[in-house]
A and B are shown apart, each in its own frame.
Chain A
Amino acid sequence: METDILIIGAGPAGLAAAFETASKGLDVTIVDESLTMGGQLNQQTQVIPSLPSSFQSMRGFEWAAHLTNQLKEYDIRYLLSHRVIGFYKDGSVGITDEQEVFAVKAKKIIVATGAAENAVAFPKWTLPGVMTIGAAQTLINRDFVQPGKEAVIVGSSDFALDAALQLSEVGVHVKGFIEKNAGILSRDLEKIEQVKKIGIPIHLDSFIKEARGIGAVEEIDIQIGTRVFTEKVDLVCVDGGRSPILDIFYQLGCSFGYQKELGGWVPQYNHQFQTDREDIFLAGNAAGISTQGVLLVTGMLAGINACEAVGAITKTIADEEKDFLWKELEILETKYNPTIWEARNRHMENFAYPVIKEQFLS
Chain B
Amino acid sequence: MDKSTIICRCEEISYEEIEDVLTNGATTFDDLKRLTRCGMGPCQSKICHSLVADMIHEKTNTPYFQIPLPRMRMPLSPIKLETLATNSTSFSSVKSVMDEVELEDGKVR
Contacts and interface: CB of A to CB of B under 8 A. Distances in A.
Contacts of A116: 46
A247 interface: yes
A305 B23 CA distance: 48
Contacts of B62: none
A240 B83 contact: no
B51 A123 contact: no
Given A101-B84, A101-B86, A123-B2, A248 B50 contact: no
A119 B47 contact: yes
A265 B1 contact: no
Interface string B40-75: 000000111011000000000000111011011011
Contacts of B15: 121
Main secondary structure of the interface of A (DSSP, over half): mixed
A78 interface: no
Interface string A328-362: 00000000000000000000000000011001000
Interface in B1-26: 1-2, 4-7, 9, 15
A356 B69 contact: yes
Contacts of B6: 121, 125-126
Contacts of B68: 356
Contact of A121 (B1, B64, B79, B84): B1
Main secondary structure of the interface of B (DSSP, over half): loop
A77 interface: no
Nearest to A265: B69
A250 B72 contact: yes
Contacts of B77: 83, 85
Interface in A83-124: 83-87, 96, 98-103, 116, 118-119, 121-124
B2 A264 contact: no
A102 B51 CA distance: 35
Interface size class, chain B: 20 to 34
A103 B9 CA distance: 33
Contacts of A125: 5-6
A260 B64 contact: yes
Contacts of B79: 85, 96, 98, 101
B69 A121 contact: no
A358 to B, nearest CB: 12
B71 A98 contact: no
Contacts of B98: none
Given A83-B76, A258-B65, A122 B83 contact: no
B87 interface: yes
A243 interface: yes
Contacts of B47: 119
A255 to B, nearest CB: 11
A248 B76 contact: yes
Interface string A202-226: 0000000010000000000000000
Nearest to A116: B46
Given A98-B83, A123-B1, 8 more contacts: A98-B80, A99-B83, A100-B86, A101-B86, A119-B48, A121-B51, A246-B72, A265-B69
9 contacts: A83-B76, A85-B76, A85-B77, A100-B86, A101-B87, A121-B7, A121-B51, A122-B1, A264-B64
